[in-house]
């Protein structure tokens, strides 16, 4: 059974069709990269998956359970909170809470969930995740004391702390300079090696090709092309994909 099945997701803003029917499925342990021009709807799609926007049409099925159906009445806040837990989202701007340390940022949400874990267990989990991000020596620092790359790695640990089924990244390195980009990409690469299920919106084509199993090329709110990463990036079928990739290289 696929871990995620997205069926015919459509979204309009002010009468403009932004998503025109997005459908695909992915298996547990897969990493999919989404590429495409500015304005093609990549962020809007991730926001729909994370219930930050409500699609106008379509369904979202996670592990065989329909967690969203646009034809059903709007979800109440409790349902939204529960359903959001299926997805983790790491933004371009790290959005850490400035008044909390790295460790506190990671364990804040799981603590609020009151899922029975003790304070010690939460702390151990937070330390372990930060250690995996290469930040063992930074746990007690505040965001302003950390570089952009370090802050982004805290944000990744924070997303993982809720054990999402699918971890989503929206251009996780586009606010970073090249040196700091490398350290964040390494962390994402490690997650892929550990078979973390991920959807990664990125402008880093070489990274998408090397880390993702499959690449989706989005254009004007549809999936124009989807296939094995190497094939879509190195040998795309669609003219529009070729054009997009060659513009990037010029």
Using CB under 6 A, list all residues that contact ligand ATP.
Answer: 13-14, 18, 36, 38-44
Pick between residue 43 and residue 59 the one whose CB is nearest to ligand ATP.
43
Site for Mg ion in 32-61 (CB under 5 A): 42-43
**Shorter beta-carbon distance to Mg ion: residue 101 or 181:** 181
Structure tokens at 240: 């529009």
Tokens 């403009």 correspond to what residue? Answer: 16
The residue among 225, 168, 223, 146 whose CA lies nearest residue 30 is 168
Kindly list the distances between the CA atom of residue 20 and the CA atoms of 4, 43, 147, in Å, as whole numbers in the listed order: 19, 14, 38
CB of 226 to ligand ATP, least distance (A): 16
202 is an interface residue for Mg ion by CB under 5 A: no
* DSSP type of residue 149: H
C-beta closer to ligand ATP: residue 14 or 137:
14
- Phi-psi category of 8—alpha, beta or left, where left has phi over 0 and alpha has psi -120 to 50? left
Q: Which two tokens stand for residue 108?
A: 């804040």
Q: Name which of 139 and 169 has its Cβ closer to Mg ion.
A: 169
Cβ at position 39, least distance to ligand ATP in Å:
4
Tell the smallest beta-carbon distance from residue 14 to ligand ATP (Å): 6
Residue ranges in contact with Mg ion by CB under 5 A = 42-43
């Amino acid at each position: 059974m696929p871990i995620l099945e997205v069926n015919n997701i459509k979204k309009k803003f002010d009468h403009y069709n932004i998503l025109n029917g997005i459908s695909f499925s992915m298996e547990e342990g897969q990493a999919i990269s989404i590429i495409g021009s500015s304005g093609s709807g990549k962020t809007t799609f991730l926001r729909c998956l994370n219930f930050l926007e409500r699609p106008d049409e379509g369904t979202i099925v996670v592990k065989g359970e329909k967690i969203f159906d646009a034809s059903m009445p709007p979800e109440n806040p409790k349902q939204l909170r529960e359903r959001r837990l299926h997805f983790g989202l790491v933004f371009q701007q790290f959005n850490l809470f400035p008044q909390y340390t790295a460790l506190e940022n990671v364990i804040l949400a799981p603590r609020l969930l009151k899922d029975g874990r003790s304070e010690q267990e939460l702390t151990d989990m937070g330390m372990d995740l930060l250690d995996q991000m290469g930040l063992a020596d930074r746990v007690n620092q505040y965001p302003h004391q950390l570089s952009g790359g370090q802050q982004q790695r805290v944000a990744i640990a924070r997303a993982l702390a809720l054990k999402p089924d699918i971890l989503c990244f929206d251009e996780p390195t586009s606010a970073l300079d090249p040196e700091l980009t490398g350290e964040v990409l390494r962390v994402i690469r490690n997650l892929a090696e550990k078979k973390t299920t991920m959807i990664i919106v990125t402008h880093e084509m070489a990274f998408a090709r090397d880390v993702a199993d499959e690449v989706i090329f989005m254009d004007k709110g549809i999936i124009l092309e989807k296939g094995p990463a190497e094939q879509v990036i190195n040998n795309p079928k669609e003219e529009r994909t070729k054009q997009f990739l060659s513009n990037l290289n010029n």
